[in-house]
Amino acid sequence: MEKRIAAPEILAEAPAAASASGWRWVGIVAIIVIAAALPFALSKYHVFELTMVMIYAIAVLGLNILTGYNGQISLGHGGFFAVGAYTAAILMHRYGVPYWATLPPAALIGFALGGLFGLPALRFEGPYLALVTLAMALATPQLLKYFDTWTGGQQGINLVKPMPPAGLGIDRDRWLYFVALVVLSIIRIKVTTTVQLVVGAITIAVIVLVDLFVVGKGGTSGNTQGERNEMSPAKKAAIGSGRPDIRSFIVPLRSFPL
């Protein structure tokens, strides 16, 4: 007879799961409060440094998908980061586009370049993929110097920090901090949701395939009590203890959030 989980056991686990979820929300709220209050307790210099940390964290989130979840090595991630940054800077400097309106074009151009560069690179993996992305890392600085009319060459593009909305009563450094914080939070949520959906779909597919394989081989799900009585002791032992529960080897992704 298959082992069934008793109702009291399920009810006993429910409060623990609810408590863990509650503490998680408490931690999220605490982080939000600290992040919102932190720029008012630091100097402008340290606020700008924290802003740069969050900007680099956005790039690291993208690299984490490639390296952390797929195990591929990329040495040219900074090149795609530079393309998005220069797209926003050129739109602001030459065409007077508001800073908030440059985010979608910068993301789209970086995405398009990554797709064009990534499709041929699908044939490579491991160190070979790292060598291909190394070409991107080496070519980007030279291209930026060559098109110095647009990029400013070695001097780059000097931009004025965005002006905060009237009535907030904060300076440019703190407003830039909050803009970076909001963008980082949105991308963090989007990346986490995407990864959870992908990993969840793969997990369900693995469970279904393993169950179908075991049933096809004569597992417990496909045998009645009468059929089991006619089996040999060896086969009974194989069915009783040899069927692995794939769920016991799978750790939910929410235990290790990005």
Of 21 and 150, more confident: 150
Q: How far is CA 204 from CA 173, 242, 253, in A?
A: 46, 21, 13
Amino acid of residue 122: L
Amino acid of residue 128: Y
Tens-digit pLDDT profile for residues 68-110: 877 778 888 888 899 999 999 999 999 999 999 999 999 999 8
User: How big is the chain, counted in residues?
Assistant: 258
Tens-digit pLDDT profile for residues 186-212: 998 888 888 877 766 666 677 666 666
Tens-digit pLDDT profile for residues 113-134: 888 877 777 777 667 778 888 8
**How many other CB atoms are found less than 10 A from the CB of residue 110?**
19
> Which residue is it, tokens 């235990």?
255
Residue 213 has pLDDT above 70, yes or no: no
CB 50 within 8 A of CB 42: yes
Confidence band of 155 (pLDDT split at 50, 70, 90): confident
What residue segments make up the domains of the chain, in order of their start? 1-41
Q: Which contacts qualify for 188-195: CB closer than 8 Å, 24 or more apart?
A: 188/61, 188/258, 191/61, 191/62, 191/64, 191/65, 191/258, 192/257, 192/258, 195/65, 195/69, 195/253, 195/258
Measure the CA dihedral 35/36/40/42, to 10°: 10
Tens-digit pLDDT profile for residues 37-61: 999 999 999 999 999 999 999 989 8
Residue 258 has pLDDT above 80, yes or no: no
Count CA atoms closer than 13 A to 235's CA, side-chain side: 11
Q: How far apart are CA 193 and CA 170, in angstroms?
A: 33
Distance, first Cα to last Cα, the chain = 41
CB 23 within 8 A of CB 45: no
pTM, two decimal places: 0.68
